[in-house]
Structure 1
Amino acid sequence: MVQLNNNELITMVLATITLAILTILWLYKVTLSSPKSSLLPGPRSLPIVGYLPFLRRDFHKQITDMAYTYGPIFKFHLGSKLFVVINTPELAKVVVRDQDEVFSNRDVTIAGSVISYGGQDLVLSSNNSNWRNLRKIFVHELLSNKNLEASGSFRSDEVRKTIKNVFGNIGKEVNISEITFLTEMNVLTSMVWENTSLEGAKGVHLVQDLQMVASNIVEIMGQPNLSDFFARLAWFDLQGIERNMKKTLNKMDRILTNIIEDRVKYNSKKSQDGDGHEGKKDFLQILLDLKDQKNSASLSITKLKALLLDTMVAGTETTATLIEWVMAEIINNHNVMKQVQEELTKVVGTNNIVEESHIPKLEYLHATISETYRLHPVIPFLLPRTPSEDCIVGGYTVPKGCSVFLNVWSIHRDPRYWDNPLEFNPERFLTNKYDYNGNNLKFFPFGSGRRMCAGIPLVEKMTMLILASLLHSFDWSLPKGIEAQDLSEKMGITLKKSKPLLAIPSQRLCDVSLYN
């Protein structure tokens, strides 16, 4: 054993102390220069299954209740999948603005991957050149101000057909969601492939098929899938969700393929006759032209179909759901219905039909729709985001690859930001102006940042026109024996009414010709 003299011992002790001091100073410096973070709070989970056995049917309410226990940001596991929930505007700002680039990817489920052709669409694509190209096409081609203005006649014509159909059912129960969905589908098919030769029975069957397939897609997407929570089980597809979605996609793909082939044949014939398709173009023709341009960004036939599918499904389901909620709230609040109809009488007149030119003047109706979006956001957590790297939110580490929920349902009902938040009060949107573009994160039903919904301009026009026309043309009441509309909710991919709204229209305008 080596023996140390006193000087050597003292030297060793001093060296040890010096090293310890330097280490402490280094750690202190690193701590100051690095963001402070800690593990996310959250409920205890069972081994393997995580929090899955404790989920309730009213999942959106359960998640909001958990925020009172665990704070404005927390986590929970479903199987091997980690979920992080954001419950305040301040923390939402970190996700959609401060670190928008990091959080701009989607967490795609197995069903979502199937229906988006492997994430090649606009809604579920990763934040990459494909997504940027599709968004540019969607925003600047289909939903440009010029094209929205040009397609106004499609919207007006289809809404007039709906009013005529409702008039034929005066005194009878009308399913609000069904008539809205059909109106939206007819508008979109006209905008997307107006010039395709689908007339008569062929056109009717097309709309019916599209409506059925779109409904199936939404239903399947809203089903919790064990394969998403347990990766090792995905191969077995125990619930048949992947299998059912593939069948549904095949049906939609056949419809889209037939439409595209029909258009290509039509264009070929016109070209042989020396008559091109110059002038006004529908969305399908614009996409086909872009696909054929050698110098354009890559737009394959699969991506073209994926974009058409997004348009038909997202554009119908969300609007029909929202309009049903608006009508339910209005029917339950007679004073609101009175003020909406008084405004319509003043702006439109009782000897006239609603036109899109009236819409900017209908401030109270717009406020009523906004208040409905506040209380009943159609997608209560928006579409989940997933961070591309570990990051810090609210002092906590949010791991790469987890699924992040922005709980707008909770934020829209938080008494810290809203007076009497559970009260349906459109006036709050007359005194405090909020838009749908996510500029104020106390109210962002369409999201915010680069992954905000791209279809807001069309949704806003359609929602206003349909509601204004229904409320201007008819008085509405509930079936006999029902005093108030049930406002309970059913959670799926969208937040729908648990029971469909059946309402009875009665003639409001004296001139019967206004219903034709």
Structure 2
Amino acid sequence: MMMSFSTDPISLLVLFLIIILVWITVKHYRAPCKNFPPGPWGLPIIGSFIYFGKHAPYKDMMRLSKQYGDVYSLKMGSRIVVVVSGTDAIKECLVQKGNDFADRPYLWVIDQMNPKYDGIVHGHFDDKWQRRRQFAHTTLRGFGFGKTEMESKVAEEILFLLDEFRNIQGKPVNTDSVINRSVSNVICSVAFGKRFDYSDPILGFMIDIMGKWFESSRKMLELDVLPFLRPFNKQLIDNFSTFANEVKKFCMQQIDEHREAFDENNIGDFIDAYLAEATKEHSKEDFTDNHLAQTLVDLFSAGTETTATTLRWGLLFMVLHPKIQQLVFNEIDQVVGPNRLPRLADRTYLPYTEATLCEIQRLGSITPIILPHAALVDSTLGGYDIPKGTEISIILWSMHLDPHAWPNPDEFDPNRFYDQKTNALKKNENFMPFSAGRRVCMGEQLAKHELFLYFSAMINQFKFSLPVGTKKPSTDGVFGLTLVPRPYQVVIEERNI
């Protein structure tokens, strides 16, 4: 018996659309090469989003890695992304073959805030970018970035924060705002040569804008891979661009102020050093105001967000684990005493405090997915072929919450990093809070110094507890560009000195 097909126009149109959809799917989702990493199949248009929940894509990616391996591929909308998880694969990608995977992909979401890919964070890996990054790194170190010379600036800012804590102690408060302002002032002193009063509306406005910018990033990343949703999210897109432009405008104003008072014989901060470099003949083309402004955005946003968020996680874990908070205080009190604040020279003698900071960074894991990389050349990863230009998504969360590397990984336990027998800090190869390789966080050393000085000073001077009768706050973070704690309140009490 012969099969019969309907020839009415609607049926033919549906058949035609199905054929087109299948053709588009095969065209977009066909593996770029024979030995390409395997991965789950995706639906037309939306790709592998059917495997994702609403709140924690890094957990979904980790779950898929258990089925497809530490190096696998995902259909992200209309493009294919290689996902890298697990210590060995991540180290191969970032360290052993760091140059091969040091580029950045071209992304729609970046086009909305930095269309020329200026600056350090989003810049493509070429000779000009390497020269600008090297200049930034050398210049920042010259101003004490990551050195003990920076300690005095951080210590000064900590004194302002402690005074603010004294003013708000004794009642339930949210410390997010004051911590953000304090940490922001450290990078402002290096980049702009000045600090802002906590009540300064300009600083408050910029930190608020930056917070909204980071918060909106999660939805923007979805729109990046699902372009058909963009017409329905015009307000979000406009707001995201406005937030980014406001931060850049603020940095441009700082550049203009510095140019008016510029003296090549008096280089006082990063902007001065950049303006001086831009006057050199071999630097005029590469060292533009746009590059400088975007570099300042990178420094201002990253230098504030990551450290402040880690400290917020730190206070959360301390109020949830008062016994550990007491152990940290006891160690600091025994080594430092009540008459001064901890110094960097004390770090060696405060291994449990250091271990607690490491555990805060591990469990908080504020960058569960680092900014995407791209293959600069044809290469291999995990035994698979990775063509040039392939987008790479690296899941640091997989290192920090892997149950094989960390027994009971969801529990907060500083002893993971503390050797009780030798009273010393223990290292762990599965711990990489600042990433690694050619794109490693440029402010890693400064951040480590800041975290130690801030955290130890706060615990040395104050006791932090949950308000009586309140429900314990959640440790499930909110994922935007970083993983931040949900809002919570603490009661601050000055210790009896």
Instruction: Report the 3-state secondary structure (helix = DSSP H, G, I; strand = E; otherwise coil) of the residue aligned with 1:66.
Output: helix
Residue type of the partner of 1:93?
K
1:172 counterpart residue number: 171
Aligned match of 2:153: 154
Whole-angstrom CA distance in 1 between matches of 2:460 and 2:425: 25
> Is 1:41 aligned to residue 38 of structure 2?
yes
| Aligned with residue 216 of structure 1, among 188, 212, 215 | 212
CA contact (8 A) 1:350 1:509 kept: no
Are 1:50 and 2:42 matched, yes or no? no
Where does the alignment leave 5 or more consecutive residues of structure 1 unmatched?
Answer: 1-35, 268-275, 511-516
User: Which amino acid in 1 is paired with 2:46?
Assistant: V
Deviations 1:294-337 (A, max 9, x none): 24472111111011111100111111111111221122222211
**Quick one: which amino acid aligns to residue 411 of structure 2?**
E
Q: Residue type of the partner of 1:365?
A: T
Task: State the SS of the aligned residue for 2:242.
Answer: helix
CA displacement, residues 31-65 of structure 1 (integer Å, 9 cap, x when unaligned): xxxxx973433222112221224421222222112
Letter matched to residue 293 of structure 1: K
Give matches, 1:245-284, under 5 Å. Answer: 245-267=240-262, 276=263, 278=265, 281-284=268-271
For 2:13, the equivalent position in structure 1 comes to none
Q: Which amino acid aligns with 2:483?
A: L
Partner of residue 280 from structure 2, selected from 290, 293, 313: 293
Q: Give the 3-state SS of the residue equivalent to 1:83 in structure 2.
A: strand
Structure 2 residue ranges without an equivalent (≥5): 1-32
Deviations 1:312-368 (A, max 9, x none): 001111111111112211222222111110111022211223344434433222111
Q: Report whether the alignment pairs 1:69 with 2:57.
A: no
8 Å Cα contact 1:386/1:402 also seen in 2 = yes
Mark the CA change 1:390 to 1:239 in structure 2 (over 3 Å): closer, same or farther. Answer: farther
The partner residue of 2:476 within 488, 496, 500 is: 488
User: 1:41, 1:357 → 2: CA distance?
Assistant: 50
User: Structure 1 stretch 415-424 or stretch 98-107: which is displaced more?
Assistant: 415-424
Sort the Cα spacing of 1:184 and 1:332 in 2 relative to 1 into closer, same or farther, 3 A.
same
Kindly tell me: are residues 248 and 485 of structure 1, through their superposed partners in 2, closer, same or farther at Cα, counting changes over 3 Å?
A: closer
Cα offset, 1:235, TM superposition: 8.6
Deviation string, structure 1 residues 220-256 (Cα, Å, up to 9, x no partner): 323244552256x599584445433332233223322
Q: Does 1:204 pair with 2:200?
A: yes
Aligned with 1:127: secondary structure? coil
Distance across 2 between alignment mates of 1:200 and 1:409: 36
Deviation at 1:100, TM superposition (A): 1.7
Deviates more, 1:389-398 or 1:459-468: 389-398
Bigger mean CA deviation after superposition, 367-376 or 390-399: 390-399
Map 1:219-258 → 2, pairs under 5 A: 219-225=215-221, 227-230=223-226, 238-258=233-253
CA distance in 1, matches of 2:70, 2:258: 52
Match of 1:369 in 2: 357
Q: How does 1:359-508 map to 2 (within 5 A)?
A: 359-431=347-419, 441-482=429-470, 484-497=472-485, 499-508=486-495
CA distance, structure 1, for counterparts of residue 233 and residue 164 of structure 2? 43
What's the offset of the Cα at 1:445?
1.6
Query: How far off is 1:102 after superposition?
Result: 1.6
Q: Tell me, yes or no, if the aligned pair for 1:134 and 1:307 is still in contact at 8 Å.
A: no
More divergent stretch after superposition (253-262 vs 284-293): 253-262
Q: Distance in 1 between matches of 2:217 and 2:282?
A: 36
Distance of aligned partners of 1:382 and 1:199 in 2 relative to their CA distance in 1, 3 Å threshold: closer
Where does residue 6 of structure 1 map in the other structure?
none
Q: Please, what TM-score do these two structures have when normalized by structure 2?
A: 0.84
Letter in 2 for 1:350: P
Aligned residue type for 2:210: A
Task: Provide the residue aligned with 1:16 in structure 2.
Answer: none
**Greater Cα shift, 276-285 or 454-463:** 276-285
Q: Which amino acid counterpart does residue 256 of structure 2 have in structure 1?
A: E
- For 2:24, the equivalent position in structure 1 comes to none
SS in 2 for 1:103: coil
Shift of 1:430: 2.4
Structure 1, 383-392 or 485-494: larger mean CA deviation: 383-392
Match of 2:84 in 1: 86
**1:410-446 CA distance string (max 9 Å, x none):** 22222322333333221221238566xxxx7522121
Distance verdict in 2 for CA 1:227–1:327, change over 3 Å: closer
Q: Deviations over 1:182-225 (max 9, x none)?
A: 10112222222226xx9889x92331232123223212323244
Would you say the 8 A contact 1:324–1:501 is kept in 2?
A: no
Distance 1:375 1:200 in 2: 32
Q: Flag the 1:504–1:454 CA change in 2: closer, same or farther, 3 A.
A: same
Is the 1:474–1:506 Cα contact (8 Å) retained in structure 2?
A: yes
**In 2, distance between residues paired with 1:45 and 1:418?**
32
The question of whether the paired residues in 2 share the 8 Å contact of 1:37 and 1:395 is answered with: no
Total equivalences in the alignment: 458
Letter of the 1:397 partner, please give it.
Answer: D
Q: Mark the structure with the bigger radius of gyration.
A: 1
Cα 1:160–1:83 change in 2 (3 A) is same
Deviation at residue 123 of structure 1 after TM alignment: 0.9
> CA separation in 2, counterparts of 1:66 and 1:235?
27
| Cα distance in structure 1, aligned partners of 2:426 and 2:388 | 33
Deviation sequence 1:382-419 (CA, Å, 0-9, x none): 22211134433223333443322222212222232233
Q: Is the 8 A contact 2:332 2:350 kept in 1?
A: yes
SS of aligned partner of 1:502? coil
Is residue 143–residue 269 contact of structure 2 (8 Å, CA) maintained in 1? no
Would the aligned equivalents of 2:220 and 2:237 in 1 still touch at CA under 8 Å? no
- SS at the partner of 2:393? strand
**Is contact 1:222-1:494 (8 Å) kept?**
no
CA distance in 1, matches of 2:112, 2:425: 40
